Every structure is written in C-alpha cells, then in structure tokens.
Amino acid sequence: MNFGLFRREIELLALRVRPHLTQQAVKILDGHLFHRPLLRSVVADPSQEGRLLLFSEKIQSEDLSELPPECLSKLSAFKGEYEVTKHTIKLTEKNFTANEMMKELLPNDVEIPSSYEVIGHIAHLNLLPEQREYKHIIAEVIRVKGPQIRTVVNKTDTISNQFRTFPMELLCGDDDMLATVRESGCTFQFNFSEVYWNSRLQGEHGRLLKLFKPGELIWDACAGVGPFAVPAAKKGCYVMANDLNPASYKYLGENAAKNKVKNFEAFNMDGREFLKKELLNCGLPLSSSSDQMEEECEGGKRKRESAEVEQDGKGKEEIQKG
C-alpha cells in the first residue's frame, strides 16, 4: 500500500527561547505544544544555540491569540527573552495515529473500527459489513501502526462447530497463525486458526485463578490450550485438564511442558465423559444423572459465553485516536 498521502511538510509556529528557559516554557505551554508519534515538540534552533518549542497545529496566529490569557501572561514574564518564529517539519505515515490515517483513507460514511483483538503477533478483526469493502486498507494501517503486528485476519463467520473455532481470512502480512502469548505469568503457544482463544477473557482468567489455593484439585473440562489449567498448576494445584479439540489437547500438553508445571494431566475427551470418569476415579459420588450433568455442562458453557460478552470491551487493542 502506498502511504505517500501522509508524506508531507508542514509549517508550524514555534517559540524561540534561551536554553535555560526551556523547561519553564514547556510547563507554561503544556497542552498547547505539537504532539505527534515519534516527533519531539522541542527541537534545536537551527539559527542559534537556543531551543524551539513547536506549537500545536491549532495555533495559527503569530500573536498567539489562540492561547489562554493565563499562558500569555506567564510568557510575558520572560521580558523579551522569547521570539515567535516558524519551523518546517517533515511528516511520514509513522507520525500519524491509526485513527487519523483511516479518517483520510476511508469514506466519511464508513465507521472507523474502534478496536481489535491482539493474539501475539496477530491482529484479529471482526469487521462490519460496510467496512469489508475497505478491509485491506484497514488491515494495512493496523499492521503498520501495531508495533508487534505481523499478521492481520478477519473473522468471516460465526462460531458454529463444537471446537468453537471460526473461519477467518488473511488480510495482510505473514500467513503465520502460530501465536505466542504471555498471560498469568505463563507462556502459551498455539495455532490461532485451530483452537479457541479469547484475549478479552484475560481478566476473568485472573479473577478465577486468585480463588485457587496450592494443593487443591482442579478439574477443567474445557481447558482449551490451558489459560486456566497451566497457571493453576504453576500455582501449586493438582490439575486435570481436558479438551475435546485434538489441536487444543496438543497445545495444552506442550504449554504445560513449556511452563515446567508439575501435578498436571491432560485429556482429550468429551467434557461430560471426562467429568464422569474422573469423578468416579477419584471416588467421588455422581450427584447428578447423565441428563442433569449435560444440563449443568450447558449451563457452564452459557456462563462462559456471558463472561465473553461482559468482557467484550476489555483486553482489546484500541485504535489510537488522534
């Protein structure tokens, strides 16, 4: 994608001050100085050994009439030791926020995406129908502006299978779905296209882990790649973790080994059968009939889905506003 639209020169008003007054002047002008990513608001004066304080683009009058009266009053105390001048700077796409870039690149009637999920080096979008025509533009901006982002994908349909994975399309970047995520003091690695992972549930994971005590026996019937099970084992719990998805089961075992946890067993079974078998193996009576247990498992699934909705605005990367 050609970002030449954002490569330009702009002329700013600047306050020329002696070096010993720089800190005081910056304090007076707080909130009214130039602010853009990767650029400084105080630069060397090319004409002498002073400093130039670059004003915000909103300050256009050389008499600085856009400044509040209290700022002008404090500047007057410098007694002529400052001068208003002009300074030219060069901008590139690196000096714009993602929000600013999308405002210029997308039609006015297209809503700018407000956030996206980050899974290691992967940005996961869930674009609205009216945004899909511009999906490659949106994705490229996110890739360029996200420091760790190498891959951008978009969810193309709802979760509809028993493994709770969803179809996705690669919009830009590397076709590399093997993500590495750090959470709850543990490192997790998994193929994002093969397993269920939701970064928005990080807060919920942490909340439940605080309830676990060392030495307790924990059953996790739908463990995924281990966001509950592995940290619980690392905390000193004895963990029996299960997932129906063979890919999740594979990464569950690998993540347990990667984090060097002990007292951990992984299973690849239906969640209901796992609970029945392991409760009996542990000598605990089954308090529910098969039908009741199935109903309770479905209830637990609904609670997890409810938690996802509650956490929907959390654990997501906000599109940086201008």
Q: Where are the domains of the chain?
A: 9-94
Q: State residue 301's pLDDT score.
A: 47
Distance between CA atoms of residues 140 and 126, nearest Å: 15
Q: Give the predicted TM-score (pTM) of the model.
A: 0.80
- Residue-wise pLDDT for 275-296, tens only, equals 888 777 776 665 544 454 445 4
Q: Where residue 314 falls among pLDDT bands split at 50, 70, 90?
A: very low
Q: What is the pLDDT of residue 124?
A: 97
Q: Alpha helix locations (H) across the chain?
A: 22-28, 69-76, 98-105, 135-145, 202-209, 229-234, 246-258, 271-281, 290-310
Closest CA to 134 of 173, 108, 97, 168: 108
**Structure tokens belonging to residue 72:** 């002008």
Q: 54, 14 in Cβ contact below 8 A?
A: yes
Q: Is the pLDDT of residue 102 over 90?
A: yes
At residue 321, the pLDDT reads 56
Q: Are strands 115-119 and 238-242 parallel, antiparallel or unpaired?
A: unpaired
What digits encode the pLDDT tens for the residues 203-233? 888 998 999 999 999 999 999 999 999 999 9
Instruction: Note whether 243 and 222 are within 8 A (CB).
Output: yes
Whole-number pLDDT of residue 313: 46
Say what the pLDDT of residue 290 is. 45
The architecture of the domain spanning 9-94 is 2-Layer Sandwich (3.30)
Residue pLDDT, tens place only, 107-131: 999 999 988 999 999 999 999 999 9
How far apart, in Å, are the Cα atoms of 267 and each of 227, 236, 251, 284?
Answer: 15, 19, 12, 19
Q: Which helix (H) or strand (E) holds 220?
A: strand 217-220
> What is the C-alpha R_g of the chain?
27
pLDDT digits (tens, 9 = 90+) for 139-154: 999 999 988 999 999 9
User: Average pLDDT of 249-256?
Assistant: 98
Tell me, what's the pLDDT at 159?
81
Report residue 303's pLDDT band, with 50, 70 and 90 as the boundaries.
very low
